[in-house]
Amino acid sequence: MFSGKTVLVTGGTGSFGKKFIKKVLEEGVKKVIVFSRDELKQYEMKQEFSDSRVRFFIGDVRDKERLYRAFDGVDIVIHAAAMKHVDACEYNPFEAVKTNIHGAQNVIEAAIDKDVEKVIALSTDKAASPVNLYGATKLASDKLFVAANAYVGTKHTKFSVVRYGNVVGSRGSVVPFFQKIKGTGKVPITDPRMTRFWITLDQGVQFVLDNLQRMQGGEIFVPKIPSMKVTDLAKAIAPNCDIEIIGIRPGEKLHEAMIMEDDARHTVEFDSYYVIQPEFPWWTDVKHKGKPLADGFKYTSDMNTEWLTVEELEKLANVL
């Protein structure tokens, strides 16, 4: 799939970007462009990647002209750039809108005008029935990328979305935070009932690679992944620490969701993933031949059929 292709990753210096780029270099890609706004992270990443096929491009998804320059000759775009921290988005709402919504629109327009073949945007479980601004901006972004398939005109660009849960050990996530503070003897938890979806970085990267092949344009792909209790995670990482209940933060949910009842009506199920299909008039000809979901189905972290044990969480945390 990548032979002779040029791939660009927005937000390419992040945890996902680094892992994804390592993978596509192994797959025989012609060139990989790291598009991000932080020159220090790019400098540090250059020390890790000596491959001449990796190029670094300073830019911000808010800057449409810069995206037009960067997308010239690009075949595949992975849109991973985002403001993703719930607290930061709540406190800086306009900045979140500029990056997560306006930035998405800029990526779409640049991809269409430069005739990029395929675009996959990374989403989050917080985009399903959102209660915080981060989730709301990512829901808007998802809608933009799905609808973009109706705007391509004579061009050939296809847009799809991948939505998954918390990534084990990604920058700013709870695992490195718990590991950092366990020496204090206390681990803060907002609510003992809290549950979350859990996916490894390798699994997230592979899911994107798989869906680059599956995508027809307009789908939201959702993996089947396990849930975990945040209290179990605390026991796994800091078994000798006391748990301190500090109360739910602004914009935080008790449980996360990836598919709600209204989306389930046009979602199909496969062995390891779901596909939320678009409601385009022409979609009948290309739709995925999966199993329809039961009426009233929803996929939430507290009603999951697969759960990680304390022992499994301990193993995951120890490999980071």
CATH classification of the domain holding 144 = 3.40.50.720
pLDDT at 319: 61
With contact defined as beta carbons under 8 Å apart, do 152 and 115 qualify?
Answer: no
Whether 170 is covered by a domain: the verdict is no
Q: Which segments of the chain have a pLDDT < 50?
A: none
| Domain that includes residue 42, residue range | 6-165+199-224+257-300
Strand order in the sheet with 31-36: 54-58, 31-36, 6-10, 76-79, 118-124, 158-164, 220-223, 273-276, 267-269, 291-292
As for how many domains the chain has, the answer is 1
Whether 233 is covered by a domain: the verdict is no
Backbone angles phi, psi at 194, to 5 degrees: -65, 135
pLDDT at 222: 98
pLDDT at 285: 74
Whether 316 is covered by a domain: the verdict is no
pLDDT in tens, 112-131: 999 999 999 999 999 999 99
Whether 313 is covered by a domain: the verdict is no
pTM exceeding 0.85:
yes
pLDDT in tens, 39-78: 999 999 999 998 999 999 999 999 999 999 999 999 999 9
Taking alpha carbons only, the member of 217, 219, 303 closest to residue 260 is 303
With contact defined as beta carbons under 8 Å apart, do 258 and 130 qualify?
Answer: no
Candidate list 5, 18, 114, 126, residue with the active-site label: 126
Q: Catalytic residue at 155? A: no
pLDDT at 172: 62
Strands 76-79 and 195-199: unpaired
Whether 120 is covered by a domain: the verdict is yes
pLDDT at 38: 94
Whether 320 is covered by a domain: the verdict is no
Whether 235 is covered by a domain: the verdict is no
